[in-house]
Structure 1
């Protein structure tokens, strides 16, 4: 990471982006429906160069099936630095029983106690990431 405050932004390579995605579990998925953008919080898992998430039947799933082009962003903020990774790709509901069984074996569980039986896979077409050096807090007297 750059220690130069004049250049506090570091572009991340693909492998670093995947390493960060594997440490994250909460993100925001962006979809477009009838020309209007929508963003939903989701928990996800990064595995085999793809992202998997669980959802229930409803508006989010409907919008994903009508327009499969999505973006998912996840990030983290620490005391001295922050990072953000954005994945753009195509989404599809997993329907084959073999794929569902494999997904059910993954350590991804809903963050809230709702029933989410549908697995969605995002196949990335573009991944970008940045790490930011945060400005020091001003001293207070």
Structure 2
């Protein structure tokens, strides 16, 4: 029987950023006063910053408050899985900075207009890869 150490591998910073750059969908968790929020969203990566086009709402309020946040992406199949978490603070980009989305602007899954861009400046990015041992069902 394999040990848990064999089933879990820490990802390097470079591996984490490669996975972040290869995806477009994740979950943002943040606190507003006494409530914890978690929202799914589309994103892009520019110069090791995570950019989220958004409309008005709680993400903009969290950015105005410079809230500490966590952003997570993950993937799995029958044999393996990985997860990457970026922690840092949010800020709303000024109109003169929104060009940073450029051609990398993620396609929204919802048909809503998004006039603002929020940036997550990660202070820590970590990740793990997992070897899965799922029971065989018949």
TM-score (norm 1): 0.88
CA distance in 2: counterparts of 1:59 and 1:136, whole angstroms: 38
Name the counterpart of 2:132: 134
Which residue of structure 2 lines up, in the alignment, with residue 20 of structure 1?
19
Of stretches 43-52 and 121-130 in structure 1, the one that deviates more from structure 2 is 43-52
- Between stretches 78-87 and 63-72, larger displacement belongs to 63-72
What does residue range 39-58 of structure 1 map to in structure 2 within 5 Å? Answer: 39-58=38-57
Matches within 5 A, 1:1-141: 5-6=2-3, 7-97=6-96, 99-140=97-138
Q: Which runs of 5+ in 1 are unaligned?
A: none
For the residues of structure 2 that align with 1:29 and 1:136, how far apart are their CA atoms? 28
TM-score (norm 2): 0.90
Q: Which runs of 5+ in 2 are unaligned?
A: none
**CA–CA distance in structure 2, aligned partners of residues 47 and 101 of structure 1:** 11
In 2, are the aligned partners of 1:32 and 1:67 still within 8 Å (CA)? no
**Aligned partner of residue 105 in structure 1, secondary structure:** helix
| Count of paired positions | 136
Give the Cα separation in 1 of the matches to 2:118 and 2:77. Answer: 30
- The Cα shift of 1:128 comes to 0.7
**SS of residue matched to 1:71:** strand
